[in-house]
């Protein structure tokens, strides 16, 4: 009983995960993969189609499951929007952090190539020299 339930849930998980990669799949193939009888596979797939967990149709004569291409669900769209907003938030936080780093560390200034160059430099053998600008 428990082993059969695990096999059935494995089939459901497999179909939810990999249905987008198939145009169609044979119920015989699914029955062999999950060691279930054809009528059990048929029952599980039918329930998934009725509950709109699987966008597919059953072709009775050939015992094939024909997958339908669908647009993302509203929950998936909302999740994508949230991910995009979080990405923007991270970018903005990084920009603010970079600005604060530039503001608080007066030691560094940007050079022409986009890198940082110290205003003070060490010269030769332990000597210390401060760069002076000529006007």
pLDDT by residue (tens digit) across 31-80? 999 999 999 999 999 999 999 899 999 999 999 999 998 777 788 889 99
Sign of CA dihedral 37, 43, 44, 49: positive
| Dist. CA 104–CA 98, nearest whole Å | 10
**Domain end call among 47, 67, 87:** 67
Res 85: pLDDT? 96
pTM above 0.85, yes or no: no
| Dist. CA 20–CA 91, nearest whole Å | 32
List the domain range (segments joined by +) for residue 87: 71-104
CB 42 within 8 A of CB 53: no
CB 103 within 8 A of CB 63: no
- 7 shares its domain with 62: yes
Could you report the per-residue pLDDT of 88-97, keeping only the tens digit for each?
A: 999 999 989 8
**113 inside domain:** no
The CATH number of residue 58's host domain is: 1.10.10.10
Cα–Cα distance list, 32 to 7, 76, 80 (Å): 11, 32, 36
- 54 shares its domain with 19: yes
Number of structural domains the chain divides into: 2
**55 inside domain:** yes
Res 111: pLDDT? 53
**32 inside domain:** yes
Res 70: pLDDT? 73
CB 64 within 8 A of CB 27: yes
- 33 shares its domain with 55: yes
């Amino acid at each position: 009983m428990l082993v059969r339930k695990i096999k059935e849930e494995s089939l459901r998980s497999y179909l939810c995960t990999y249905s987008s990669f198939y145009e169609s799949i044979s119920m015989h193939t699914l029955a062999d993969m999950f060691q279930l009888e054809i009528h059990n596979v048929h029952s599980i797939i039918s329930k998934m189609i009725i509950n709109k967990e699987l966008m597919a149709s059953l072709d009775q004569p050939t015992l094939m499951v024909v997958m339908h291409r669908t647009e993302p669900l509203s929950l998936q769209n909302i999740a994508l929007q949230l991910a995009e907003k979080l990405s923007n938030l991270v970018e903005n936080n990084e920009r603010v952090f970079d600005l604060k780093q530039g503001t608080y560390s007066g030691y560094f200034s940007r050079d022409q190539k986009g890198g940082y160059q110290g205003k003070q430099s060490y010269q030769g053998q332990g000597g210390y020299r401060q760069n002076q600008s000529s006007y």
